[in-house]
Amino acid sequence: MTDSMGIEVQGVRFGYPARPVLRGVDLSVGPGELTALVGLNGCGKSTLLRLAAGLLRPDRGRVLLGGDDLAGLSRRATAARVALLHQAATPVPGMTVRHLVRQGRYAARGPLGMLREGDDAVVRRALRDVGVGHWADRDVDALSGGERQRVRLAMALAQDTRVLLLDEPTTYLDLHHQLDVLRTVVRLREERGLTVVMVLHDLAHAARFAERIVALREGTVVADGSPKEVVTPGLLADVLKVAGRVGADPERGWPVCYPDHPLPELENENQFH
């Protein structure tokens, strides 16, 4: 793998004829950073990840990985630099853990290489690092939700990139598996020197596990900083439309949210959510 790689989002606009999604986003994520994106549904978080992964092209502006404009890279070249873990994946009946994780090697091995049997060193490391090697010959659809999410994380790692994008990696998981996945991401980021950007709905998880939080509202960045700087009662009200209080964890010091009740959304905001 190459050195850690940063992400530059410069003046990015994206949308559909009747619905703008991103309205001019500037964002710089340094190599090796762990950043959480937060905001209401429809604010543009997942779209921003898909743009950073090269799956979408901005209407205006540009996205750079390691200084290179994604618009000038092929899909396969982009996949060799950045891996995206989607919110959910369509199950493939009868596919084993080993075969699913191998799918992450497509960018490196190509269509002919994927026909060859056998794991390479990258696949073996991904299985080992996420702790799913002992499940390698089990069917994916026989696993629990938390187990499947770990396997999908191993598939993303098998791309062998320095940038890892995670779109709501804890969705549909119970609290035990939410913490398990997030702790695994933090550990892998440290061990592999990854640049990680993840969309999280739970502000408490973002405040605990990320070193930086970027909040979006109606397609623009409205807050950007450390959890202690960003997580405030004002953020709860202005971005998440919740009245609440913010304290601090007595042992570790990270912000702890105490939401009280939802706030009414303005009529002109409803079209975005």
**Alpha-carbon gap, residue 167 to 36, rounded angstroms:** 10
Q: Give alpha helix (H) positions in 62-120.
A: 75-79, 97-102, 106-115
What global pTM score does this model have?
0.91
Domain finish residue from 160, 184, 200: 160
Domain shared by 168 and 223, yes or no: yes
Indicate whether 87 belongs to any domain.
no
The predicted structure's pLDDT at residue 273: 38
Q: What is the CATH number of the domain that holds 38?
A: 3.40.50.300
Tell me the CA distances in angstroms from 124 to 101, 111, 221, 242, 270, one per residue in order: 9, 20, 39, 45, 47
Domain shared by 180 and 262, yes or no: yes
Tell me the CA distances in angstroms from 108 to 4, 26, 184, 194, one per residue in order: 18, 31, 24, 18
Domain shared by 201 and 240, yes or no: yes
Domain shared by 67 and 110, yes or no: no
Domain shared by 75 and 153, yes or no: no
Domain shared by 111 and 156, yes or no: yes
Nearest to 197 by CA among 241, 161, 231: 161
Domain shared by 255 and 124, yes or no: no
Indicate whether 246 belongs to any domain.
yes
Note down the domain range covering 224: 7-81+161-267
| Tally of domains within the chain | 2
Domain shared by 253 and 168, yes or no: yes
Domain shared by 154 and 184, yes or no: no
Domain shared by 189 and 253, yes or no: yes
Domain finish residue from 144, 160, 176: 160
Domain shared by 136 and 169, yes or no: no
The predicted structure's pLDDT at residue 230: 97
Q: 16 forms bridges with which residues in the sheet?
A: 19
Domain shared by 61 and 172, yes or no: yes
**Alpha-carbon gap, residue 11 to 4, rounded angstroms:** 23
Indicate whether 272 belongs to any domain.
no
Tell me which residues of the chain have a pLDDT lower than 70. Answer: 1-3, 89-91, 109-119, 266-273
